[in-house]
Amino acid sequence: MILTVTPNPALDLTWRVDRLTPGATHRADAGALRAGGKGLNVARVAHAQGAPVLALSTAGGRSGIAFAADLAASGVAHRLVQVAAPTRQTVAIVDEELGDTTIVNERGANPTDAEWAALFGEVVDALPSARVLVISGSLPPGAPESFVPLLIGTARDAGVPAIVDTSGPALIRAAEAGASVLKPNAAEVADATGIGDPVGGARALIALGAELVLLSRGADGMLAVTADEVRQARLDAPLAGNPTGAGDAAVAACAVLYAQGVRDVDTVLRRATAWSAAAVPMPLAGDISDEWADLESRLVVASVLREEEP
């Protein structure tokens, strides 16, 4: 079973307008809502592809009720720790004419120590049945610094690899705690490590203790950086669509393979790049196109030469 932890879940609200004009008033049909947060998107993708999944998160307040109802409707197995603070909301306004999306993300409220302990307890309870642990998304402001490394260490002790998709100082701590896989993008690597060159930053995360860094590069595909090599996968031609959720699909691909015991870097890189690309044509994060195998067959994979070497 793939165990996902989403420490800062969100009720995602989406409205569609013809053309978004700042300062103007727009008419729209009723908005859509969805239980969101990166770890839940990972769980949705893996579940839709037939992998056993258990999604752990928190829910609180009126938004938490809507969040729990939507998650229940998704069919993804889950356990939600009840928290006092309302589940944060995100607002997406889709400009139908331009096709782009304007997003407002609430930062989220920090659970109490007892609520964090309850979430940790759910992970401990579920780890014996888990083949891989996924920790995905931001942490609420004020979250205990120890939470991510504690989860990774507890999973390691249980022989369960940890895949982590987060940013900021938590990315550094995840590397130090020995995460099996990190999935940052170039901006997140630069922000966390202070190293502008993405490959150099990824190598720094490996030096800290991570085994594999999957570095998503948008239309330029993905890099797999290990202590030994840098491999790149990219599509032969760019895809049109909505990249939201592409990173979560990459994490889902990685998690499904790790849960099957697969560790071959090229296999993981190819599947992660293909599922990531297959998320782009889909309107909602947490879905991938059935065409992913075709996309995987179109990938160009090569080693990246290290420029600083002869």
CB of 141 to a copy of itself, least distance (A): 10
Query: 87: burial class by Cβ within 10 Å (0-12, 13-18, 19+)?
Result: buried
Cβ atoms of residues 55 and 76 within 8 Å: yes
Residues in 134-173 at the binding interface with a copy of itself, rule: CB under 8 A: none
CA-wise closest residue to 189 among 212, 166, 207: 166
Buried b (16+ CB within 10 A) or exposed e, 236-258: eeebebbbbbbbbbbbbbbbbbb
Is 65 a binding residue for a copy of itself by CB under 8 A? The answer is yes
Residues in 232-291 at the binding interface with a copy of itself, rule: CB under 8 A: none
d(CA 192, CA 276): 23
SS3 of residue 123 by DSSP: helix
Is 89 a binding residue for a copy of itself by CB under 8 A? The answer is yes
What backbone phi and psi angles, to 5 degrees, belong to 272? Answer: -65, -40
- 290 given a catalytic annotation: no
Residues in 3-32 at the binding interface with a copy of itself, rule: CB under 8 A: 13, 15, 17, 20-31
Is 191 a binding residue for a copy of itself by CB under 8 A? The answer is no
Indicate the residue among 14 and 276 with the shorter CB distance to a copy of itself: 14
The correct pick among 53, 55, 66, 163 for binding a copy of itself (CB under 8 A) is 66
By rule CB under 8 A, what string of x and - marks binding of each residue 96-125 to a copy of itself?
--x-xxxxxxxx-x----------------
Cβ atoms of residues 39 and 255 within 8 Å: no
Indicate the residue among 121 and 168 with the shorter CB distance to a copy of itself: 168
| Residue of 165, 248, 264, 266 marked catalytic | 248
Residues making contact with a copy of itself (CB under 8 A):
13, 15, 17, 20-31, 62, 65-66, 86, 88-89, 91, 93, 95, 98, 100-107, 109
Catalytic residue annotation: 248
